[in-house]
Amino acid sequence: MTSTTDRQDGKANVLKTDVAIIGGGPSGLLLAWRLTLDGISSVIIERQSVEHVQGRIRAGVLEQGTVDVLTRAGLGQRLETEGLRHGGFALALDGRVCRIALDALTGRHVTVYGQTEVTRDLMAAHFDARTKMHHDVSDVELHGLETETPHVTFAKDGELWRIDADFIAGCDGFRGPSRLAIPADQRDEFQRDYPFGWLGILADVPPCREELIYASSEHGFALASMRSPTRSRYYIQCRADEPLEEWPDNRLWDELKRRLGSDVAATITPGPAIEKSVAPLRSFVCETMRYGRLFLAGDAAHIVPPTGAKGLNLAVGDVHYLATALSAYYRRGTELGLDRYAEAALRRIWKTERFSWMMTALLHDFADEDAFAKRMRAAELNYIFSSHAAQASIAENYVGLPFEDVLA
């Protein structure tokens, strides 16, 4: 079906399409692009501006499966030339460093390529294809989800709009309206809020090492990461309500050096912050990923703490399953993939939630933990440092679990 517009005087502007997509971040953009490649029409609506969406600073470690999905969708040109291929990463305990050799342990790798860059690649593809996208919208509401004629209404520039579609994809994040459109007694939700956050700094300075370092120390957690050979991203554990004004750049650089250890500290190049922020940590899963003609994907259905670098990767997995299922529906008339979507996605989600939760518990200080718990965390890290099997398990999860075939 081709998206069409029918102006109705005195009423809503009506758009007709195959799939209405709520949310214009990476999940919604990738789903729309996969559908476009298969000749399936879609309309994207997004409450933020184009500039805001393109400028959001987010994670930057892509699993091999994510890279494969983007490449097969024709989005791999800049990723291939600018992405940093990493065959490992490091765990550090009080200055001692253990490299997890992803390539040797799994035969696979990860690629450092910022979510901002993925979004820009997707936006460029959609601009070239003239995809129907509406930004700066408000008052989004979902209707008729349990019928065969669902629709979405929204406001833009003082006018009311309506999208009639076969299906609605909720890719609008944790606070979006899609999940909340499912009746509360029909949603199964699980959540854990962590008693700390991450204070991050982005700076145009060379990374301290060629690979990421996740560090646990008596002073708290720290992460040394990067976005490019000339741009670094660092984090430290902090209170979830930490005031940014209490962390001038010099204090933050000094604290990073203290937590990462003297050997790493010697290679850190401080510089002025391009961006500085505090992000709370949360684990969340909504097991109701389908309700009638509504399908949830990405942060609308799940949140992981960033310790395992899984947020964007999980979203890409959802989109891969959903796009495959929708393509089979429109090409062959089968609903098998749609019926299996939530079950397949949730199996992968819970395994990934487990890994992110484990890494978070392993590397962070908890205010209420006693001396015994601290010793247990140190013992677990020491075991990982000395065990090939433990390192292989971490590597397998870090590079990403394989996708299921939702049509099998």
Task: Specify whether the backbone of 206 is left (phi greater than 0), alpha (psi in -120 to 50) or beta.
Answer: beta
- Whether 310 is catalytic is yes
Structure tokens at 294: 């509504």
Instruction: Name the catalytic one among 16, 26, 86, 329.
Output: 86
Instruction: Compute how many other C-beta atoms are within 10 angstroms of the C-beta atom of residue 207.
Output: 24
- Whether 86 is catalytic is yes
Instruction: Name the catalytic one among 306, 321, 329, 364.
Output: 306
Residues 6+ apart with CB under 8 A from 165: 16, 17, 18, 19, 20, 43, 150, 151, 152
Instruction: Name the catalytic one among 214, 234, 291, 321.
Output: 214
Cα of 206 vs its chain's centroid, Å: 25
Nearest to 172 by CA among 90, 295, 64, 269: 295
Burial zone of 12 (CB within 10 Å; 0-12 exposed, 13-18 middle, 19+ buried): middle
Nearest to 141 by CA among 160, 128, 124, 127: 160
3-state helix, strand, coil in the chain (%, to 5): 40, 30, 30
Instruction: Name the catalytic one among 310, 321, 329, 341.
Output: 310
Structure tokens at 186: 């029909």
Please, what is the Cα angle at 39 between 72 and 160, to 5 degrees?
115
- Burial track 334-366 (b if 16+ CB lie within 10 A, e otherwise): eeebbebbbebbbebbeebbebbbbbbbbbbbe
Rounded CA-CA distance 385/75 in Å is 37
- Whether 214 is catalytic is yes
Nearest to 154 by CA among 46, 310, 315: 46
Structure tokens at 101: 């050799």
DSSP, collapsed to helix, strand or coil, labels residue 271 as coil
User: Which residues are annotated as catalytic?
Assistant: 86, 214, 306, 310, 398
